[in-house]
């Protein structure tokens, strides 16, 4: 979510759903995994609704370009708090894909299935999110040097 208030709302709503569906837990697999799925799905649903309200359209340009991780770039040390701040400032669709891929460990195929999009779209949005993060971090570093 973009800010703590939105995150708190989603968290509370997900807990309500969890308690409403607790009788559906079949003690197969971990409870943590089952609960995590509820929380992730609730966050995705809120973002989907927000996108519909704002009529956000995902750009389909350059979806077939191969997307590679830029491993030749030097690593830059950024504080955890600053990195989270930059991630929270990403556009909703970029932030959603970035979080699902990087933090939640979903594959592009799983993200595509969950969000009803092509895997190439997921890859493209992740690449754009990384590019935006790089730009923001570089801007911040340049401001400190100036």
Q: What is the pLDDT of residues 36-69, one digit of tens each?
A: 989 988 888 887 776 654 433 333 333 333 333 4
CA nearest neighbour of 46 among 7, 104, 99: 7
Q: What is the pTM of this model?
A: 0.58
Q: What is the pLDDT along the chain (146 residues), one digit of tens a residue?
A: 778 888 899 899 999 999 999 999 988 889 999 999 899 888 888 877 766 544 333 333 333 333 334 444 455 566 777 888 888 889 988 998 998 898 888 899 999 988 888 999 999 999 999 999 988 888 887 776 65
CATH architecture of 65-146: Orthogonal Bundle (1.10)
3-state SS of the chain is CCCHHHHHHHHHHHHHHHHHCHHHCCCCCCHHHHHHHHHHHHHHHHHHHHHHHHCCCCCCCCCCCCCCCCCCCCCCCCCHHHHHHHHHCCCHHHHHHHHHHHHCCCCHHHHHHHHCCCHHHHHHHHHHHHHHHHHHHHHHHHHHHC
| CA–CA gap between residue 91 and residue 49 (Å, rounded) | 15
Output the CATH code of domain 1-56: 1.10.1740.10
Q: What is the pLDDT of residue 31?
A: 92
Domain boundaries, the chain: 1-56, 65-146
């Amino acid at each position: 979510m973009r800010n703590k208030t939105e995150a708190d709302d989603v968290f509370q709503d997900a807990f309500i759903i969890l308690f409403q569906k607790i009788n559906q837990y079949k003690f197969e697999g971990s409870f943590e995994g089952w609960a995590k799925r509820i929380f992730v799905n609730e966050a995705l649903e809120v973002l989907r609704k927000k996108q519909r309200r704002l009529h956000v359209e995902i750009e389909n340009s350059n979806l077939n370009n191969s997307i590679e991780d830029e491993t030749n770039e030097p690593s830059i040390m950024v504080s955890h708090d600053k990195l989270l701040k930059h991630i929270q400032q990403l556009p909703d669709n970029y932030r959603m894909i970035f979080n699902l891929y990087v933090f939640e460990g979903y594959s592009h195929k799983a993200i595509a299935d969950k969000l009803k999009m092509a895997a190439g779209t997921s890859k493209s949005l992740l690449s754009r999110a990384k590019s935006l993060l790089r730009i923001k971090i570089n801007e911040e570093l340049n401001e400190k040097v100036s």
